[in-house]
Amino acid sequence: MDRFLMLGRQHLYLTEEEALKYPVLRSFASEIESMKRSSGGYSEDFLRFLGATAIDSLDFSDYEGANLVHDLNRPVPEEWHGRYDLVFDGGSLEHVFQFPVALKSAMEMVELGGHFVAASPSNHFNGHGFYQLSAELFHRALSPVNGFSVKLMAFAEQGAGGRVYRVEDPAQVGRRILFGGRNPLLLLVVARREKISEIFSENPSQSDYAKVWTSSEEPKPTGKRKFRAIRRIMPSALMHRYDAWQVRRRRWREARIGVHPVDSFSEAFQEFPRPSC
């Protein structure tokens, strides 16, 4: 990780106590606070400890000291393409109105063999930015047709005792990923650039719709004739209670499809299938 770009100049919120939980960080956990002080609360010194030698930060203005100033609503200059080993979005893209333009630029700035990494708001962040982002979105955008392969997709709950969940590709599961969680959820993404190809030469499509559009099968009928007959003779109050219970039951079951609790991000990496390009 020689050349590192962060979208927005990232603060360092990691504490010594948190660093001690991760084997890779334990050797310099005691230096976390001094890193914060030496870089004014920002993350450059921490990133150097992780191996970055050239660190850039890109923002709409230099109000936080970003050394690259650019409006991500517009494409980045072509000379920035393929410049970085790692492009990190720690919560900037959701604030850009022209999100597809900004995501495309972030992907284009990754060199061949480099990585795009994101920690994005996924649920219970209403009002934080323009958008809350889904696993479906990143799976379709960071796909082989665009030259990328996803190496990690995980939900992380905010707050004390927050769980980590490995998230499958909805296209592989054959169902939408509807997990909402009770606490605010961050979506963590790691993707590798496997080849140089034109990004978004075709607009991504949501996987379940794409399957229906190309399927020759007739849609399966919904509802059961016998049950509809029973509904006609049941008291309306009882049917309302039954319907509400059915909705809660269906949502509870659907929300667990394609989402698997894990003990750590390392475990999520190990269990995630490696897609081929």
When mean pLDDT is compared over 20-29, 145-154, 223-232, the highest value belongs to 145-154
Question: What single string gives the DSSP state of each residue in 122-174?
Answer: EES-TTTSS----HHHHHHHSSGGGTEEEEEEEEEE-STT--EEEE--HHHHT
Q: What is the pLDDT of residues 121-143, one digit of tens each?
A: 999 999 999 999 999 999 999 99
- Specify whether the backbone of 124 is left (phi greater than 0), alpha (psi in -120 to 50) or beta: left
Give the strands of the sheet with 259-262, arranged side by side: 68-69, 54-59, 3-7, 84-89, 110-123, 185-193, 148-157, 164-167, 259-262
**pTM for the whole structure:** 0.82
User: Could you report the per-residue pLDDT of 240-264, keeping only the tens digit for each?
Assistant: 776 665 555 555 455 567 888 787 7
**What pLDDT score does 24 carry?**
80
Spatial CA neighbour of 169 closest among 141, 203, 201, 195 = 141
For 9-48, the pLDDT digits (tens) are 999 999 999 889 888 888 889 999 999 998 899 999 999 9
Mean pLDDT lowest for which of 29-43, 103-117, 189-203?
A: 29-43
